[in-house]
Chains A and B, each alone.
Chain A
């Protein structure tokens, strides 16, 4: 008998890449984040074999959650087929051996960069959002040490001032994606760079959202059925991106978030940003049986929580 016979065969990689201690740390941080909605929980953040700032935060959360019976969907800017989404999906599939899908309804875990799916998520689903800047106060206070004190005091005066200055200068709010929200009447939270179209989808959602920033080493959560409100004044309201008149050139869909695609003649065409949803609309148009879920916005552009958008 030799030592080699007694030893385990060499295994270079753990299930789902991260070692079990790293996963346990992440799971504990996630539980804390869920217990304190909108609060940024620091975590160690391991290096992964993709570039830092390319979704390593979201990926660490997904790898800590995923199990062999999960079905994973990965989107980037709403698209399943973009190179970054494809790359993350093949990585997760190879290290965790899970099934993957482009159908929002089939997925148990959806890792996303910069978008919610158009179809409403259910109670059993988890949305993992990749976050570049977890600190919503960064625009008014770049020092994270001072920003943490402001959070402790719930001192968001500088944010309200910034919002007011936007009105004074431009007669309208000028915030783009990553619109700041207040979670559970307490913490100001960076919504991650989702379009304002998606911001209301956090509010009283049936699913759990986990937001994770690998480079900045912070994760936070919006548990199911939590109040999440974009910052606005009682007489000047938060506004979503206007999709009026935009018709998807591929599916004919309206009142969904559209990509503007420049054309050589200087004009533009519009396409659904959510490619999984577009794919299902096309299959239905071809007469194939396909289940399409209820969407956050209806055909007339009405959001599903009446009165939430003013």
Chain B
């Protein structure tokens, strides 16, 4: 049966979707809650690329698609289109953000301190196969009998999502860039008058054009495909770029979404969101230059690669893979994945047209041969 048969097509797609659901099992509210609770980094990635901060809905999208990331991002983006824009939040202020992790690779110590926070960076990547056996392991110093022996971090008694042993407090951690500016190593921030968030160029409301306004660039990177940004950023890091990067600062935290009350004008917090941001500095002869990226949710790989691309895109003659237009068009996850899978659609009309051309050329060739 042809997959585009005019008759029966509707029945076919219903059955295909049904088969997908049967293979992946039923989902319910408890399962969605479990995804939200136990897969926070996955949920963050979907929210960041979906550019909608809604952990419950992102978890639902993941459950509904069996974990297909691009499908989940598309679900969230499509849902986003149904939501009216009611208000604009105030800019996130580092000084009031609850920062869990703030590190700088540029200096051994920094004002406010290096805060390692929650990270697997320095863990030994050993599969905890004992978990599968459901047997507790004994730790015998010196000899390894099970992977758990390599992990001498004590088991946390906390419930996931609750951090009883880690005190969260607003920290006015001075930005490392501030010290660099004070010492003449980094250009001062441009003078900027009071800005209404509603006046910012918005990439979800205007099509992107090049060279793009900085707001468009940073918004595009914030919702960009993690893998795409990583691939292009890694090309820059490996040697196809012009930057000599150092991570000036990486931050993970909880930021208040501060809104202005429409009647009283008072600023209040509507809730907290997980945010991550990265600053990269690179040597530009007599000064440093700065690259920046931030996103919803905690995604260090994406913000570091994106901040690196921010520097590359600002160069006068970047590598073709680091031109702004190239980067921003090709790391848009919904457009890229959607177009990629569109090639599964029937193309027999265009293909027939191509076959006709080939046969015409063959005929001409054979005429000449005779």
Check A83 against B142 for contact (C-beta < 8 Å): no
Residues of A within 8 A of B152 (CB): 90
Q: Which residue in A50, A133, A174 is a CB contact (below 8 Å) of B124? A: A50
Given A49-B124, A142-B240: A12 in contact with B144 (beta carbons within 8 A): yes
Given A12-B145, A83-B116, A97-B142: A262 in contact with B107 (beta carbons within 8 A): yes
Residues of A within 8 A of B124 (CB): 49-50, 87, 91
Residues of A within 8 A of B126 (CB): 49
Chain B min CB distance to A138 (Å): 4
Check B147 against A12 for contact (C-beta < 8 Å): yes
Chain B min CB distance to A47 (Å): 8
The yes or no answer to A170 lying at the interface (CB within 8 A) is yes
Residues of A within 8 A of B122 (CB): 83-84, 86-87
- Please report the C-alpha to C-alpha distance between residue A142 and residue B235 in the assembled complex, in whole angstroms: 10
Check A259 against B179 for contact (C-beta < 8 Å): no
- Please report the C-alpha to C-alpha distance between residue A251 and residue B197 in the assembled complex, in whole angstroms: 51
Closest residue of chain B to A172 (Cβ to Cβ) is: B285
User: Per DSSP, are chain B's interface residues mostly helix, strand or loop, or mixed?
Assistant: loop
- Please report the C-alpha to C-alpha distance between residue A208 and residue B45 in the assembled complex, in whole angstroms: 46
Given A91-B124, A169-B285, A176-B283: A12 in contact with B146 (beta carbons within 8 A): yes
Check A94 against B144 for contact (C-beta < 8 Å): yes
- Please report the C-alpha to C-alpha distance between residue A170 and residue B286 in the assembled complex, in whole angstroms: 9
Q: Mark interface residues in B113-145 (1 if CB within 8 Å of A CB, else 0).
A: 000100001101110000000000000001011
Check B107 against A260 for contact (C-beta < 8 Å): yes
Q: Which residue in B109, B147, B239, B285 is a CB contact (below 8 Å) of A261? A: B109
Closest residue of chain B to A262 (Cβ to Cβ) is: B179
Docked complex: A164-180 residues within 8 A CB-CB of B? 169-170, 174, 176
The yes or no answer to B182 lying at the interface (CB within 8 A) is yes
Residues of B within 8 A of A50 (CB): 124-125
The yes or no answer to B271 lying at the interface (CB within 8 A) is no
Residues of A within 8 A of B116 (CB): 83
The yes or no answer to A77 lying at the interface (CB within 8 A) is yes
Given A87-B122, A262-B179: A95 in contact with B144 (beta carbons within 8 A): yes
The yes or no answer to B69 lying at the interface (CB within 8 A) is no
Residues of A within 8 A of B110 (CB): 261-262
Q: Mark interface residues in B239-274 (1 if CB within 8 Å of A CB, else 0).
A: 110001000000000000000000000000000000
Check B108 against A259 for contact (C-beta < 8 Å): yes
The 3 A-B pairs at the shortest CB distance, nearest first, are namely: A49-B125, A138-B239, A266-B182
Instruction: Give the B-binding residues of A (Cβ under 8 A).
Output: 12-13, 48-51, 77, 79, 82-84, 86-87, 90-91, 94-95, 97, 133, 135, 138-139, 142, 169-170, 174, 176, 259-264, 266, 268, 271
Given contacts A12-B147, A176-B283, A262-B107, 19 further A-B contacts (CB under 8 A): A13-B144, A48-B125, A49-B124, A49-B126, A49-B150, A84-B122, A94-B142, A94-B144, A94-B150, A95-B144, A138-B239, A142-B239, A170-B286, A259-B107, A261-B109, A263-B111, A264-B111, A264-B174, A268-B183
